Amino acid sequence: LGGAVAPGQGDMQLSDLERAIARSDADASAWFAYAAKLQGLNHYDSAALAYQRVLELEPYHRQAKLQAAIVLAQLGDAPRFLAYLSDLTLADPKLADDIFRRPETQAYLAQPAFSAMAREARSQAMD
């Protein structure tokens, strides 16, 4: 598995994970573990970048897409979060709809652009 982080190694220290992703053969699972650790430490901007790296390595990694959305919501960067959800609504409306239903995103639904995007995702998810 090269740079993979084996199941059950979610308790690894940040420094161990940093060494794992520094390897040239670091794969999506190593990057995902690193992103999750950063997210757990409330380092949301760095976590968002790490989840993006997971998606570069494994574009259909559903959990990485979900967690990337959550950290963008936690960052409070509404334009960046909306852009991400807009792209996700086109690519995977069911996942976008699921994200709009999560507690982390509820505060955004008061904004017209987000509520419109949520309706669009919900509509497309039903098709």
Task: Return the pLDDT at 85.
Answer: 96
Region 95-124 average pLDDT: 96
Region 23-47 average pLDDT: 95
In this predicted structure, the answer to whether residue 127 has a pLDDT above a threshold of 50 is yes
In this predicted structure, the answer to whether residue 7 has a pLDDT above a threshold of 50 is no
Q: Taking the CB of residue 112, how many other CB atoms lie within 10 A of it?
A: 8
What is the reported pTM? 0.85
Q: Exposure of 110 by Cβ count < 10 A (0-12 exposed, 13-18 middle, 19+ buried)?
A: exposed
Region 73-102 average pLDDT: 95
First to last CA, the chain: 38
Residue type, 43: H
Region 29-46 average pLDDT: 96
pLDDT band at 11 (very low <50, low <70, confident <90, very high): low
Task: Return the pLDDT at 4.
Answer: 41
